[in-house]
Chain A
Amino acid sequence: MTTAPQHTGPGVREVPPGPPTPTTQLPTPKRPFTQTLTRLLPLSPALILLLLFLAGPIAYCAYIAFTDLQLTGQAHSSFVGFANFRTAFKDSEFLNAVWLTLVFTVLSSLIGQNTIGLGLAALMQRASKPVRTLTGAIVITAWVLPEVVAGFLLYAFFRREGTLDAILVWLHLPSQNWLFTLPILAVSFANVWRGTAFSMLVYSAALNEIPKEITEAAEVDGASGWRRMWHITLPMIRRSIGTNLMLNTLQTLSVFGLIWVMTRGGPGNKSQTLPLYMYEQAFQNSMIGYATAVALLLLLVGSLFSVIYMRLLRTEV
């Protein structure tokens, strides 16, 4: 994170914590409390929106997760304590969703997006300009496309009679309906297709900042490409790796549209990750309270990653 420049120019701008001091810049010095309020006034529209539409739902989430709120019928919901969570951890479908979320995240985000992104960025350092530009454009287009469109494109790619099938037939390899036999693999690949550009951009930026002299010196000393990557490049970009992994993971945890379009979580529940499970519980089984408990768990895992991410940034705000 670029450290915010601390403006310590001639005009001192601190709001004096105690009584007003002569350093105050305003033409008409006011009392500090009123002054602070006036200065923070522009924050209020954002604050109101955030409180009403983001903090509000999160607080509401924390509340209804402990109730038996249902979608239909029932006028009142009652407080059920941790019952929803106990139900969840006993439910094999929930455990299946946790497992699939884990598989999806590790395959597509930690391994796929991250490694391929780094690989692309590293290759781009050496490749010729036209190839670099072309590859960048294609990969970034996949990233900019709306989620649902990406879902359809990959649906067409993986379905029986789709492009992948056609290639396999052409190579005289056995073809199959990937969305049916290995749905979690197909949606993971879809997420790699869609999300790799982000890692590529992060790593390209990071690699560009490594001074040329360092890698060149190692090259002259006869260090091979892999060794240079392992011993010099990777340690130098380790913070970018950390932040990138964190953001990829958070992004992947909340993927819904892509999987929804490709498989609806099926067949059966073979590609039902936590967001899809949550949706099904809420709207097919009308268990809003229970679904919210699942949402709260997802939110907690996200918060945990979010805190680690902030730690990694070690931002001085």
Chain B
Amino acid sequence: MALTLSSRRTTRRLAADAGLLVVAATFALPLLWVVLSSLDAHADLKVKAPDGLTLDNFHAILNSDITFTPLLNSLILCGFGTLLTVVCAALAAYPLSRFRSRLNRPFLLTILFATSLPVTAIMVPVYALFVQVNLIDTMQGTIFFFAASQLPFAIWLMKNFMDGVPKELEEAAWTDGASSFQSLARIVLPLMGPGVAVVTVFSFVMMWGNFFVPFMLLLTPDQMPASVSINEFFGNRGMVAYGQLAAFSVVYSTPVILLYVLVARRLGRGFALGGAVKG
């Protein structure tokens, strides 16, 4: 019995391996295209071995017009947006996690509700509103909106992580006369370092890849982040230089992939869900 079971298991493992490899190959094709084309002097739309390995595509795009300014804009938008999100979420999560109040439950339910609202839907009214209050085409307006749209999920995650920090340590500090703010900054946040890292990286990655928000709220080309400026490779310039487009995609995507890998490795599998979707 044991023997048949184990041989059946081997067959099954091989079948599973084969199945996964087929899916992996399908998923890999578009990714292969971007990597190969970025190194190909004569890139087109197909996955193919480069005619001759070259870094010309990268040389062509690595200048301030095409790459550095948009990336810097992305960094400003997402950096400040993330900072605002994380600071506000940490502050907000503290009373929700530490003190009981009649307001906690309604507040958390509202947050959870807002977490899953389709933000895309409100972009047209946000545009109209921003025109009214002169926030349209400003970096700060976009940063505020980024932060606000990311906040519900950030508060939710942060609160769940904070609940995992035992209170006893803080109580000692309180007896010694520390204020709530001091105990949050000196005790709770350091103890939930990985949790803060998850919220930070998650917010940053979400903003870095977001297209619709800056597409709607920013108008001046100089202010465009990479997610929008990448559009310039198409249409406006007539012929599309696919090799350069691929090279730009690689440069633009690398930071978020690295961030993801860093945090995922440190925190183990499934970190991005942070227990937020466990049924």
**Chain A 122-152: CB-based contact to B (< 8 A → 1; otherwise 0):** 0111111001101100111110111111001
Which of B12, B94, B117, B252 has its CB near the most chain A CB atoms (within 10 A)? B117
> Is B257 touching A124 in the complex (CB atoms < 8 A)?
no
**A203 CB to nearest chain B CB (Å):** 10
Residue of B nearest to A209 (CB): B278
A93 to B257, CA, bound (A): 39
**A66 CB to nearest chain B CB (Å):** 12
A317 to B226, CA, bound (A): 39
Among candidates A140, A156, A295, residue contacting B33 with C-beta atoms closer than 8 Å: A156
**Chain A 177-216: CB-based contact to B (< 8 A → 1; otherwise 0):** 0000000000000000100100001101110000000000
B190 adjacent to chain A (CB < 8 Å): no
Residue of A nearest to B149 (CB): A54
- Which chain B residues lie closer than 8 Å to A161 at the CB level? 44-46
Among candidates B88, B122, B228, B272, residue contacting A201 with C-beta atoms closer than 8 Å: B272
- Which chain A residues lie closer than 8 Å to B47 at the CB level? 163, 166
A88 adjacent to chain B (CB < 8 Å): no
A91 adjacent to chain B (CB < 8 Å): no
> Is A49 touching B27 in the complex (CB atoms < 8 A)?
no
- Which chain B residues lie closer than 8 Å to A47 at the CB level? 92
**A6 CB to nearest chain B CB (Å):** 9
- Which chain A residues lie closer than 8 Å to B30 at the CB level? 142, 153-154, 156-157, 163, 193
A18 adjacent to chain B (CB < 8 Å): no
Q: Which residues of A31-73 have CB atoms within 8 Å of chain B's CB atoms?
A: 36, 39-43, 45-47, 49-50, 52-54, 56-58, 60-61, 64, 69
**Chain B 152-163: CB-based contact to A (< 8 A → 1; otherwise 0):** 100100011001
A87 adjacent to chain B (CB < 8 Å): no
> Is A237 touching B128 in the complex (CB atoms < 8 A)?
no
Residue of A nearest to B115 (CB): A306
Among candidates B23, B87, B108, B226, residue contacting A45 with C-beta atoms closer than 8 Å: B87
A238 to B227, CA, bound (A): 37
Among candidates B5, B245, B279, residue contacting A312 with C-beta atoms closer than 8 Å: B279
- Which chain B residues lie closer than 8 Å to A13 at the CB level? 98-100, 167
Supposing A1-B275, A135-B20, A146-B208 touch, asked if A52 and B171 sit within 8 A by C-beta, the answer is no
B239 adjacent to chain A (CB < 8 Å): no
- Which chain A residues lie closer than 8 Å to B149 at the CB level? 53-54
A189 to B1, CA, bound (A): 43
- Which chain B residues lie closer than 8 Å to A135 at the CB level? 20-21, 23-24, 27
> Is B121 touching A275 in the complex (CB atoms < 8 A)?
yes
> Is A2 touching B160 in the complex (CB atoms < 8 A)?
yes
A73 to B167, CA, bound (A): 60
Which of B88, B116, B167, B228 has its CB near the most chain A CB atoms (within 10 A)? B116
A15 adjacent to chain B (CB < 8 Å): yes
Q: Which residues of B112-129 have CB atoms within 8 Å of chain A's CB atoms?
A: 112-129
> Is A147 touching B227 in the complex (CB atoms < 8 A)?
yes
Which of A15, A53, A124, A315 has its CB near the most chain B CB atoms (within 10 A)? A53
- Which chain A residues lie closer than 8 Å to B27 at the CB level? 135, 138-139, 142, 193, 196
B19 adjacent to chain A (CB < 8 Å): yes
- Which chain B residues lie closer than 8 Å to A57 at the CB level? 122, 125-126, 129
A289 to B159, CA, bound (A): 38
B34 adjacent to chain A (CB < 8 Å): yes
CB<8 Å pairs between A and B, sample of 10: A43-B96, A50-B114, A127-B20, A132-B20, A135-B27, A142-B31, A147-B209, A238-B279, A256-B120, A306-B113
| Nearest 3 pairs of A and B residues by beta carbon | A239-B279, A146-B209, A257-B211
A sample of 9 more A-B contacts (CB under 8 A), given A27-B175, A58-B125, A299-B121, is A41-B95, A64-B128, A69-B128, A123-B20, A247-B116, A261-B231, A291-B124, A292-B125, A295-B121
